[in-house]
Amino acid sequence: MDRVRCAVPLHVSRPSGPWPGVRENLSQLGNALVCTTWSEWLPSVLTTRRLRELLGSDWQRYRRTPDAVVRYRFAASRLLIKYTAAAALAVPPEYLDLAYRLGGRPYLRGFDQIELSLSHTGDLMAVGLSRIGRIGVDVEPADRPVRLELLETQVFTPAEARELAELPEGERRAHALRLWTLKEAYSKALGQGLRFGFKEFGFSGGRLSTPDGSVVTDGEWGFATYPAMDRYLLSVACHDAGLSTAGDTSVGTMLDQGFMSAMTAETP
């Protein structure tokens, strides 16, 4: 049995919450998942007087985006990240500085023990947070068409292709989509995205496996797939890097101490 348990996604329909489950999951499981729709968060983007303050360093990117739909979706996704992290860290969201690694993966500047993952498709947005290791999230429409023959040759391992062929025909598409999202989530957690060869690893019974189907049993990874908002599929990959399992996720504990010292030092 995997040591890592992945939290069940929580639907948070607006910046005001509900948020208690996020802090509880992060404390108890080491990770938390939030999903919502960008249309639910759009009113906050359009009406808040603090948008510039909330977006912080992303404000200029927001202002430079000419397409209104793309601009508002971008703002909604960044607010979702900040409000989710703020709920976990018990700080105001405008206090958080969102930055990006090579490849565009977001992180919280100054926080050395919080990993983030963002995924979106259609109207759905999902954010994953972890305080114990890497995390990757992927979402897809549950009714997305898939070309099984293409996935079998370019994405699935031989063991996965055999398992898929043994299923009743009516179950193959759903199983293939689940495998695809799990591979995406794991690749995102590793920071590789589509650069990672998907035929180099597989999943068997919800566990990481080698191309020949042998299960990797070190227990450092946990994987799960959930229905989200009735019409989407959400898969998550959670890693336990052996970091502290202390349940305190307050800003004083999670903030990088060097960064905290710089913030609290007296100005000469």
Q: Using one digit for the tens of pLDDT, what is the confidence trace for 202-251?
A: 998 888 888 888 888 667 899 999 999 989 999 999 999 886 555 555 55
5 in a structural domain = no
Judged on CB neighbours under 10 Å (0-12, 13-18, 19+), 208 is: buried
- Domain holding 27, by residue range, is 10-264
pLDDT class for 256, splitting at 50, 70, 90? very low
63 in a structural domain = yes
Q: Lowest-confidence range among 19-33, 149-163, 232-246? A: 232-246
233 in a structural domain = yes
What pLDDT, on the 0 to 100 scale, is given for residue 260? 37
pLDDT class for 259, splitting at 50, 70, 90? very low
What pLDDT, on the 0 to 100 scale, is given for residue 114? 92
3 in a structural domain = no
β-strand 232-239 against 135-141: which pairing, if any?
Answer: antiparallel
What pLDDT, on the 0 to 100 scale, is given for residue 51? 96
List, in order, residues 6 or more apart from 119 with CB less than 8 Å away: 125, 126, 137, 138, 139, 188, 234
179 in a structural domain = yes
Q: How many CA atoms lie within 13 A of 114 on its CB side?
A: 34
The tens digit of pLDDT for each residue in 80-124 reads: 999 999 999 999 999 999 999 877 889 999 987 899 999 999 999
Phi, psi (rounded to 5 degrees) for 116: -125, 150
CATH of the domain at 24: 3.90.470.20
Residue 26 has pLDDT above 80, yes or no: yes
Element (H, E) at 228: strand 221-228
The tens digit of pLDDT for each residue in 161-212 reads: 999 999 998 999 999 999 999 999 999 998 875 566 888 889 988 888 888 8
Number of structural domains in the chain: 1
Q: Using an 8 Å Cβ cutoff, are 228 and 234 in contact?
A: yes
80 in a structural domain = yes
Question: How far apart, in whole angstroms, are the C-alpha atoms of residue 169 and residue 93?
Answer: 48
Categorise residue 266: left if φ over 0, alpha if ψ from -120 to 50, beta otherwise: beta
Q: Using an 8 Å Cβ cutoff, are 143 and 133 in contact?
A: no
β-strand 232-239 against 221-228: which pairing, if any?
Answer: antiparallel
What pLDDT, on the 0 to 100 scale, is given for residue 267? 33
Question: How far apart, in whole angstroms, are the C-alpha atoms of residue 86 and residue 77?
Answer: 14
* Unique residue bearing structure tokens 């808040």: 48
pLDDT class for 63, splitting at 50, 70, 90? very high
150 in a structural domain = yes
Average pLDDT of 130-158? 91
pLDDT class for 257, splitting at 50, 70, 90? very low
What pLDDT, on the 0 to 100 scale, is given for residue 261? 40
Phi, psi (rounded to 5 degrees) for 29: -105, -20
What pLDDT, on the 0 to 100 scale, is given for residue 125? 97
Residue 266 has pLDDT above 80, yes or no: no
4 in a structural domain = no
**What's the length of the chain?**
268
Tell me: cis bond preceding 15? Omega within 30 of 0 counts: no
